[in-house]
Structure 1
Amino acid sequence: MSLTEFKASLAGDAPAPTLSPPLAGLWWMAKGDWDRAHKIVQEDDAREAAWVHAHLHRVEGDLGNASYWYRQASLPVAKDALDMEWERIASALLGSLEP
């Protein structure tokens, strides 16, 4: 799935069932359902899920918790705009599934 297709899928009521948990979390975040997104990535121990988890806590404004999850993902704390980070994560997960 391309980033354009992923964004277009946001017009639907639910993410494609074939999406990985981190991508499903990003999908729900984009739809404004932070709680559902958080539940999905919290139950996944993959590095990619930690990256999305970090983004979610950054969105929430809990930078201490976000920093913890960036460390779990072995990534630096993001400093760019939230929407830019969301798109960067989605692009990376759709392209290579590696942060």
Structure 2
Amino acid sequence: MSYKAFKDALTSDVPPAGISVLQQGLWYAAKGNWEAAHQVAQDHEGERDFDRLHAYLHRVEGDEWNAGYWYRRAGAAVPVQSLEEELESLIQRWG
């Protein structure tokens, strides 16, 4: 799915058919459905990209300690960018 198609899909009430589970988690995160996105991340704990999504979600939640834990598990540094910029970079990467 292209970046533009992913962004366009955010106007829908349901994730687009045929996207990966990781893209579904990202779609829920971009829609502000923290619980659904978190469930996707938790269901795939131990997979680096899902752990990275998990880290972002805990940063959104404001739980910096837990976010730091998940960034380390994902092998990523805690971003210095805003939450919006981080989400945008994740969409560009996985969307």
Q: TM-score w.r.t. structure 1 length?
A: 0.88
Runs of 4+ with >6 A deviation: none
- Which ranges of structure 1 fall in alignment gaps of 5 or more residues? 95-99
Q: 8 Å contact 1:56–1:66 — kept in the other structure?
A: yes
Please name the residue that 1:77 is paired with.
Answer: 78
Distance 1:84 1:51 in 2: 15
Distance 1:31 1:93 in 2: 15
The CA RMSD measured in Å over matched residues stands at: 1.1
Counterpart residue type for residue 37 of structure 2: A
2: CA distance between counterparts of 1:21 and 1:14?
A: 13
The count of corresponding residues between Structure 1 and Structure 2 is: 94
Alignment of 1:38-77 (within 5 A): 38-45=38-45, 46-77=47-78
**Matched residues in 2 for 1:92 and 1:31: separation?**
17
Counterpart of 2:19 in structure 1 is: 19
Structure 2 gaps, min length 5: none
TM-score scaled to structure 2, two decimals?
0.91
Deviation at 1:12, TM superposition (A): 1.0
